[in-house]
Amino acid sequence: MTGVGAVDALQVLRRCGFGGRRIFGDGGNTVTLHYRRQWRGVADVVLVYAEDDAEAYRAHDALDETDPFDLAARGDLHEEVLGTVVDVVAAVLRWPVPEGWRGHFSP
């Protein structure tokens, strides 16, 4: 994703089937952007804290949607990546299609 900025990278996530929402802090300000793509039985989650601070995970879809940070403590992670928004998005988009989706359209 050479030459792509953080905003552009997040737009690519949306075009690739990720839904996005904001997580607000106590003062009502946005503290995290939460992106999620659902496969059958598997979820890809991208958490953005700042342009240079993001993380992503792939895990079985038993996620507590009210607490996406719970994912970091899971023992059943299939993939995990940390870095800048651009680097994390690029890595997530390189992850292989999960097993069971081989003959199906991606979301």
Q: Which pLDDT tens digit goes with each residue over 5-58?
A: 999 999 999 999 999 999 998 999 988 999 999 887 788 989 999 999 999 988
**Is pLDDT larger for residue 49 or for residue 67?**
49
**Is pLDDT larger for residue 83 or for residue 69?**
83
pLDDT of 92 reads: 95
Which strand ranges, in their side-by-side order, compose the sheet holding 77-83? Answer: 19-24, 30-39, 42-50, 53-60, 77-83
100 three-class SS? coil
